[in-house]
Structure 1
Amino acid sequence: MTSGGTAPVYAQIAESLRPRLAGWAESGWPTVRVVANEFKVSVVTASRALQALKDHAREPEGEAEPGGGGADPQRWAVCLHVSPGPYQHAAYQVTAAGFRDLAHKSGCGIDLDTVRLGDEPDAPTIRGRVRAARDAGAGGLFLLPSRVSDAAAGRDEELLAAAAAEGLPVVLVERNLRGATRPLTHDLVCFHDFGGGAALARHLIDLGRKRIAFVAASDTCSHVERLGGYLAAVVGTGLPPLVVHQPEGATPRQAYTAVADQLVAAGADAAICYHDHAAVGVVMELLRRGVPVPTGVAVAGFYNMPIGESFSIGLTTYAFPAATVAERAVDLMRLRLANPAAPPVKLVVPGALVVRDSTDPAALA
């Protein structure tokens, strides 16, 4: 109730629409935009009204679910703006699998196709895709921002502007918008980047490594926090920090060659790479040069990608909990829908250290 004793506008609309529920069971639920136009309210208010009705009816997207009220009645749009390159599809699938698993378990709708940025659309196209997702019933948008360039980050910003114009709340997944010190303006669910960097460093320290390098790449909060965890563990133990930078814009072969050059020049006996794909590339380049892995240089990565178990040397990594990240992202989205004016929240999900023989030969046993 409001301070004057009157029900909120969205609740009044929901009450007005309640007699139509039986008809919608056969004809389908109206879109948010239809309700907004009928009652002359914003799409946010219309969305809250429909959500209130769905919570009451326990029906996902206007279709009665067998067995009654155990299903999630919401539909969400997901935009995964992953970096282009030979591993783009594999990287996309790691996060997408978490949302697909959520859809399978909860019965909610997940739209991974409508809102896309990989084809470098212009602002009107982005706005049209966001509107299409909203008209298809999406109650919110989950965005994995690009880390690769300022131009790609600009399209992320255009997407956020379009979502705001269409009244579609956004929750970021995995990282904030590009920029190491970028202020957080939207809710974010990520995995424990700092904890992962620290866990991998402590693992290598426990193995007796003395010159542990960190391979950094992009100007993003996730990479900065991984570096921070590494520095906290290494410097806290009294070891010298060694930070190696992968050149931006380089091809994979150029990048891994440049990283290996720096590792050899620094006399590194271990390397923590920002991503499993980079770690595997570094392993291959070191082996090509005759540097044994792990006895010469131990190498580890992040995410626990399938590629880490695709070669004779298994890759030590800090595993990304994709399913849990998706679940917590939906939790945050519901909080945002219920409290649209609340300040942004960052929720951190712990990962797990996975030890293989790229760092520890005993892991084979």
Structure 2
Amino acid sequence: MEDVAREAGVSRALVSLVMRDSPKVSPAKRTAVLESAAALGYSPNRLASRLASHRTHTLGVLFLDLHNSVFADIHDGLSAGLAGSGNQVMVAVGSADPRTELEAVRSFVDLRVDGVILAGYTGTSEDLTAALRGTPGVVITRELEADGVDSVLTDDFRSGVLAVEHLYGLGHRRIAHVDISDWLPYTARREGYLHAMRQFGLEPQLVHSDMTERGGRAVMEQFLDSGAERPTAIFAHNDLTAIGVMEALAGRGLAVPSDVAIVGCDNIEFAASPLIGLTSIDQHARELGLVAAQAMLDRIAGTAGPAATRKLEPALMVRRSSDPAA
């Protein structure tokens, strides 16, 4: 800036005003400064300027898994919700590893982000609070009790209930649930499934998988090889797992839904493909991103009160995989 000031024959303070687009500069002097800056190849240090104002206009966003398109839908909602706010986004991936998640959060905080949004966080509220060090946070897809951290999610318990009610209404009585690993803190879909099964007087059947298409295919193949009585219907924790289950059934010559009906959860775009036709519980992923973006903007603007939870209602999307008439 001193070089530009010397070249333009003005003060350093006036150069600063020009670079901040201040209206307190005459057109002639503004032109002189900009021409000198261009000649010298000068560009202002935006980060230093932002730090001086105690805002970086940058948000850190952590996603659980970029292989699952539900997080792409959440990202679309976040992008739409943040559009026009002047905030830039930095992205990291947690990969269902609490240590990796916390390392990413600490890095965001060290880079002075104004807030951190976490879609699919698997760690504890205590660890997150410590890592944020007072930086505002919003957690998507999970309800978390932590100071200064809002939660935005769809009612996963209701999702599990909806799946069982739908399958029971079709006449199914042997309904299995392809669940996630026990250590993951996303148990509400399982709890909803178990609640509905008890309500109907049915025997629950849980099979654990890893939330991936490959994992769903592997556990279903293992189950079919075990000789256990085959369920007539399966509710999978997410759509990727459900598609893997469908692949395993097809590989054994079993038809969906006449031999086994399938219901997934998340309602990713791929599930609606005519080639897949997967019945799914819509989690309104894009809307989750929109709501989370507004919650973050409110918090960094200082207009938000105590940490709040915003919960959306899931919706059943019936397609060929559970429709006997299809």
Q: CA separation in 2, counterparts of 1:335 and 1:267?
A: 50
Match of 1:327 in 2: 290
**Taking structure 1 as reference, are residues 255 and 202 closer, same or farther at Cα in structure 2, changes over 3 Å only?**
same
Among candidates 87, 92, 113, match of residue 109 of structure 1: 87
Match of 1:43 in 2: none
The 8 Å contact of residues 102 and 323 in structure 1, kept in 2 or not, is answered as: no
The CA deviation at 1:241 is: 2.0
The 8 Å contact of residues 224 and 230 in structure 2, kept in 1 or not, is answered as: no
TM-score normalized by structure 2?
A: 0.71
Deviations 1:160-188 (A, max 9, x none): 54431xx4211111125xxxxxx732421
Partner SS for 1:175 = coil
Match of 2:132 in 1: 163
Question: What letter corresponds to residue 352 of structure 1 in structure 2?
Answer: A
Match of 1:315 in 2: 278
Among candidates 79, 85, 92, match of residue 71 of structure 2: 92
Match of 1:81 in 2: 64
Q: CA separation in 1, counterparts of 2:285 and 2:247?
A: 27
1:184 aligns with 2:145: yes
The CA deviation at 1:31 is: 5.1
Match of 2:4 in 1: none
Q: CA separation in 2, counterparts of 1:159 and 1:234?
A: 34
Identity level (%) = 27
Question: What letter corresponds to residue 239 of structure 1 in structure 2?
Answer: L
Structure 1: segments with no counterpart, 5+ residues: 1-19, 36-45, 48-60, 62-73, 148-152, 177-182
The 8 Å contact of residues 260 and 282 in structure 1, kept in 2 or not, is answered as: no
**Taking structure 1 as reference, are residues 122 and 308 closer, same or farther at Cα in structure 2, changes over 3 Å only?**
closer
Deviations 1:251-272 (A, max 9, x none): 635334235557x724311110
**Taking structure 1 as reference, are residues 214 and 339 closer, same or farther at Cα in structure 2, changes over 3 Å only?**
same
Partner SS for 2:20 = helix
Partner SS for 1:78 = strand
Higher relative contact order by CA 8 Å / sep ≥ 6: 1 or 2? Answer: 2
1:24 aligns with 2:25: no
The CA deviation at 1:288 is: 1.2
Structure 2: segments with no counterpart, 5+ residues: 1-15, 23-43
The CA deviation at 1:129 is: 4.0
Match of 1:142 in 2: 117
CA radius of gyration, larger in: 2
The 8 Å contact of residues 294 and 358 in structure 1, kept in 2 or not, is answered as: yes
Among candidates 200, 214, 220, match of residue 184 of structure 2: 220
Question: What letter corresponds to residue 97 of structure 1 in structure 2?
Answer: D
How do 1:30-41 and structure 2 match up within 5 A?
Answer: 33-35=51-53
How do 1:51-90 and structure 2 match up within 5 A?
Answer: 76-82=59-65, 88=67, 90=69
The 8 Å contact of residues 236 and 264 in structure 2, kept in 1 or not, is answered as: yes
**Taking structure 1 as reference, are residues 256 and 225 closer, same or farther at Cα in structure 2, changes over 3 Å only?**
same
Deviations 1:283-334 (A, max 9, x none): 1101211222111110111111133134634100011212321232234335
The CA deviation at 1:146 is: 4.7
Match of 1:258 in 2: 222
Q: CA separation in 2, counterparts of 1:246 and 1:123?
A: 24
Q: CA separation in 2, counterparts of 1:141 and 1:289?
A: 46
TM-score normalized by structure 1?
A: 0.65
